[in-house]
């Protein structure tokens, strides 16, 4: 372990970093413990050798609580571009199941439409199934794709990478590094309907379908891109919407209320800039309705003992004290 000096909005502190074994996830965890800046909002400047690591919060973000009208989410998980710390994943990003889906106009006769999938712990897999299999009910088939890919590639998907994956039910104490999860356990867990998916799963699925997957975060507007293998790139792109606790899809339709059969789920890379611009506008619209959840402030319940908790920090503390590692949101 080696000391690394952090400078952040609350002052300065020193964290211990294991340069030989730490992953990006482990480093983000230590930064979160010291600064209380959620991994998805960490903005780091490395500077020159010998100077402190400067960490700020993206967009000057502050804690926000969803409006009472937001649907009650039910589980935990995440995503981001560099296999980040787990985030919570479960409740729908919509502002109400009875309202029309949000949409933005791309061009005359083209609308990017928010396609809401159930908040049943399989939202990432359901969204991907909707996009690539045209059937959100085929989430289990998508899970099997992930499990098979991990099983077949022991080098890429080794225990060090899988040790602290977004689907994990392990919410570690903030002063510990992540455990190394057995590959067999991960493969078994990811095929269960109540396990969650995140960056690892999106990385695998982008390669499997030879298509770039772009996930846009409602709260921050950040876009995380998961590319296919360059040698097998289909030249297409799809869009997912991430609310902090839930994934949905976004597809293109000739009108806002067009039937599902008329929706186009993939777009060519030539239209990428235009579609991502529309995706940002769609996220802006959802953000204005507070259709996202801040994981630092939402209410959780330990699924083992039933204790109520506030946010990821209390969940980590409870896990440290009790060993309980299964949580859901009220």
What residues are labeled active site? 120, 123, 246, 324
Angstrom distance (rounded) from CA 131 to CA 117? 11
Residues 6+ apart with CB under 8 A from 204: 145, 146, 149, 150, 157
Q: Cβ of 131: how many Cβ atoms within 10 Å?
A: 24
Question: Which is it for strands 308-310 and 2-8: parallel, antiparallel or unpaired?
Answer: unpaired
Decide if 190 contacts 167 (C-beta within 8 A).
Answer: yes
DSSP string, 43-104: EEE--STTSPEEEEEGGG-------TTS----------TT--------S-SSS-TTSPPPEE
Looking at the DSSP assignment, which residues form a beta bridge with residue 2? Answer: 17
The distance from CA 137 to its chain's CA centroid, rounded to whole angstroms, is 20
Stretch (H or E) spanning 126? helix 123-133
Q: Where are the alpha helices (DSSP H) in 192-327?
A: 199-208, 272-288, 311-322
CA gyration radius for the chain? Answer: 19
Angle at 238 between CA 232 and CA 239, to 5 degrees: 145
């Amino acid at each position: 372990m080696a000391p690394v000096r952090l400078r952040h909005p609350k002052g300065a502190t020193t964290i211990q970093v294991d340069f030989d074994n730490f992953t990006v996830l482990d480093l983000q965890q230590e930064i979160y413990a010291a600064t209380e800046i959620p991994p998805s909002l960490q903005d780091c400047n490395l500077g020159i050798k010998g100077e402190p690591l400067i960490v700020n919060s993206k967009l000057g973000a502050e804690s926000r609580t969803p409006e009472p009208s937001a649907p009650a989410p039910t589980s935990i998980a995440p995503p981001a571009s560099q296999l980040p710390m787990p985030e919570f994943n479960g409740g729908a990003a919509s502002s109400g199941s009875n309202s029309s889906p949000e949409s933005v106009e791309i061009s005359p006769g083209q609308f990017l439409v928010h396609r809401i999938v159930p908040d049943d712990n399989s939202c990432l897999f359901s969204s991907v199934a909707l996009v690539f299999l045209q059937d959100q009910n085929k989430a289990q088939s998508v899970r099997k794709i992930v499990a098979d890919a991990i099983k077949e590639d022991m080098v890429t998907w080794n225990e060090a990478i899988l040790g602290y994956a977004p689907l994990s039910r392990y919410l570690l104490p903030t002063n510990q590094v992540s455990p190394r999860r057995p590959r067999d356990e991960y493969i078994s867990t990811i095929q269960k309907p109540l396990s969650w998916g995140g960056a690892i799963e999106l990385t695998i699925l982008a390669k499997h379908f030879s298509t770039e997957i772009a996930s846009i975060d409602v709260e921050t507007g950040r876009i995380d891109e998961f590319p296919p293998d360059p040698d097998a790139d289909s030249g297409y792109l799809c869009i997912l919407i991430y609310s902090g606790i839930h994934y949905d899809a976004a597809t293109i339709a000739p009108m806002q209320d067009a039937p599902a059969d008329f929706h186009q789920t993939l777009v060519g890379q030539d239209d990428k800039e235009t579609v991502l611009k529309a995706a940002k506008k769609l996220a802006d619209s959802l953000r204005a309705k507070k259709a996202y959840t801040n994981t630092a402030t939402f209410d959780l319940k330990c699924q083992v003992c039933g204790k109520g908790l506030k946010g990821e920090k209390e969940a980590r503390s409870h896990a440290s004290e009790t060993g309980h590692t299964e949580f859901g949101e009220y």
